[in-house]
Amino acid sequence: MNPNPFSALLHSRKFWLMTFDMLIIIVLYFVGKYAGASAFEDVKTLLVVLQPVIITVIIGITIEDSALIRAGAVK
C-alpha cells in the first residue's frame, strides 16, 4: 500500500520547518521594509542569523531520517 504523498508531506517535520521559516522571513522582510531604515538593518541581521540555523536543523533531520531508513527502522 503506497502512502498518500500529500499526507506524507503534511506529516513531514522538514516541510513544516521550511514553511515556518518562510513565514518568518516574509514577516521580518515586510516589518523591516515598512518600519524604517534603522529597523531594516536589524531585520536583515535577524534574517542572516536565523536562516542558517533552520537549514542546519533541516539537514540534521534529513540525516536522521536517512539513517533510520538505512537501518530498516522505517519503511
Which tens digit of pLDDT belongs to each residue from 57-73?
999 999 998 888 888 87
Q: Is the pTM value of this prediction over 0.85?
A: no
Of 51, 46, 16, 19, nearest to 31 (Cα)?
A: 46
Q: Is the pLDDT of residue 2 over 70?
A: no
How many Å apart are CA 40 and CA 47, to the nearest integer?
10
Any idea where the domains of the chain sit in the sequence? 5-71
Which tens digit of pLDDT belongs to each residue from 13-69?
889 999 998 998 888 888 878 887 777 788 888 888 888 998 999 999 999 988 888
